[in-house]
Amino acid sequence: MRQPHGVWFKSSKSGPNCDNCVEVRDGQVVDVRDTKDRGGPVLTFAPTAFQAFAAAAAEGAFAR
């Protein structure tokens, strides 16, 4: 069972000087925020929607 409020963790792709880093919190929903603006806006996704997005990104669906 998912927890209502998980712990924030930084993306594994984030580096020490990264200016495009995000943090994710997994619970009953998946929250995503900008690491540099932790008090700023948070995007919230249904877990299945976020899983579909992450899988598509891993497959290169959003490559430039």
Q: Which pLDDT score, from 0 to 100, does residue 3 have?
A: 53
Q: Which pLDDT score, from 0 to 100, does residue 20 have?
A: 75
The pair of three-digit structure tokens given for residue 32, joined into one six-digit string = 């995503």
pTM flag (> 0.85)? no
Q: Which pLDDT score, from 0 to 100, does residue 11 have?
A: 75
Q: What is the pLDDT of residues 11-64, one digit of tens each?
A: 777 767 767 788 999 889 999 999 888 899 999 999 999 999 999 988 999 987
Amino acid identity for residue 9 in this structure? F
The CA distance from 21 to 33, in Å, is: 9
Q: Which pLDDT score, from 0 to 100, does residue 10 have?
A: 85
